Amino acid sequence: MSDYNFAYLDEQTKRMIRRAILKGLAIPGYQVPFASREMPMPYGWGTGGVQVSAATLTPEDRLKVIDQGADDTTNAVSIRKFFERTAGVETTEETAQASVIQTRHRIPEEPLTEDQVLVYQVPIPEPLRFLEPSEIETRKMHALEDYGLMHVKLYEDIARHGQIATAYAYPVKVEGRYVMDPSPIPKFDNPKMSGMAAIQLFGAGREQRIYALPPYTQVVSLDFRDYPFEASKADAPCDLCGAEDSYLDEVIVDDAGGRMFVCSDTDYCRARRAAGHVGAQGKTEDAA
């Protein structure tokens, strides 16, 4: 342990956040205001997610932190270290081993279980924000289920691009009631939110909002009847592990147009390669 209170925040603050989380779980998709605290990191680096994680963690938990699918990028490493130091909890990179997973912009490929909690970092919790700048008005629209405007955005996408071009932060409707911003996850991940066994919590630090999805909640991506929702990904297998079903990052490998597609979920890719799956460039990668 360290000189910090467990998980950095004081107990009263954690109680306040837990109350917001419980209210969020009771009203799936509803944005609960909470008194967000200053955290020792800049806004935009996951201050909301960190506060939710801090209020959720117990000393027995095992934490995993994901940044754009990866466990080893700056955001993931620094938040993992933060909790190692302030909470002294065990950490892991393996999805199945973790009980609390804080994520930025991805849902792990491996299906989550009832014993897990998934915490999202959310920059802008209000799905209607860029259409309606007034907070008073958007709250009223949520209260009255006045969501026509959300489809105007999708209409504009089709009118301009011939298809729904929104590729991330794709708006969803929760249990036929609240329209919710799923945080900037790729729309490929949207179907995973629906009926998920794990609890999903969303924290927006700068905007001071928490919302939540209890296990097995119905989450439907908005669309038009003649332009149905499509969970898109790059049309290729992973070059390292050969996975056809995972979301891919495109990596530029030289300055002559060379590129490769690799799983965005690093833990998923690692596990598959350990199990003997090899993609097109998987062998050369190992040799190098």
Partner 1 sequence: MTPLLKVESLTKRYGARIGCSDVSFDLWPGEVMGIVGESGSGKSTLLNCMAGHLAPDAGRVMFDTRTEGLQDTITMSEPERRMLGRTDWAFVHQHARDGLRMNVSAGGNVGERLMAVGARHYGEIRDSAEDWLGRVEIDASRIDDRPTAFSGGMQQRLQIARNLVTGPRLVFMDEPTGGLDVSVQARLLDLLRGLVREMGLSAIIVTHDLAVVRLLADRLMVMKDGHVVEKGLTDQVLDDPQHAYTQLLVSSVLQV
Please report whether residue 148 would count as binding partner 1 according to CB under 8 A. yes
Could you give the C-alpha distances from 277 to 94, 253, 261, in angstroms and in order? 18, 22, 15
In the complex, what is the shortest distance from the CB of residue 171 to partner 1, in angstroms, rounded to a whole number? 13
> How far is 261 from 272, CA to CA, in rounded Å?
15
Q: How far is the CB of 172 from partner 1 (least distance, A)?
A: 15
Segment near partner 1 (CB under 8 A); pick from 16-24, 51-59, 158-166, 168-176:
158-166
Out of 33, 113, 134, 155, point to the residue binding partner 1 (CB under 8 A): 155
CB 248 within 8 A of CB 235: no
Q: Taking CB under 8 A as the rule, does residue 136 contact partner 1?
A: no
Minimal distance in Å, beta carbon 44 to partner 1?
A: 25
CB 120 within 8 A of CB 202: yes
CA dist 122 and 85 (Å) reads 24
Say which amino acid occupies 254. D
Q: With respect to partner 1, which residue has the nearer C-beta, 114 or 145? A: 145
Nearest-approach distance from CB 135 to partner 1, in angstroms: 17
Residues annotated catalytic, as ranges: 29, 238, 241, 263, 269
Binding map of partner 1 across residues 212-251, x = CB under 8 A, - = no contact: -----------xxxxx------------------------
CB of 179 or CB of 213, closer to partner 1: 179
**Which two three-digit tokens encode residue 283?**
């062998």
> Which of 12, 160, 254, 258 contacts partner 1 by CB under 8 A?
160
The tokens for 171 are 């708006």
> Could you count the other beta carbons within 10 Å of the beta carbon of residue 197?
12
* Residues near partner 1 (CB under 8 A), total: 18
Q: CA-CA distance, 59 to 82, in Å (whole number)?
A: 14
Q: Are 194 and 174 in contact (CB under 8 A)?
A: no
Which one, 179 or 240, has the nearer CB to partner 1? Answer: 179
Name the residue among 2, 19, 201 with its Cα closest to residue 11: 19
Residue closer to partner 1 by CB (options 173, 187) is 173
**Residue 178 Cβ, how far from partner 1 at the closest point, in Å?**
15
Instruction: At 185, list the tokens.
Output: 């996850």
User: Considering only residues 38, 60, 144, 257, which one is a binding residue for partner 1 as defined by CB under 8 A?
Assistant: 144
Output phi, psi for 264, to 5 deg.
Answer: -75, -30
Residues within the interface to partner 1 (CB under 8 A): 140, 144-146, 148-149, 151-152, 155-156, 158-160, 223-227
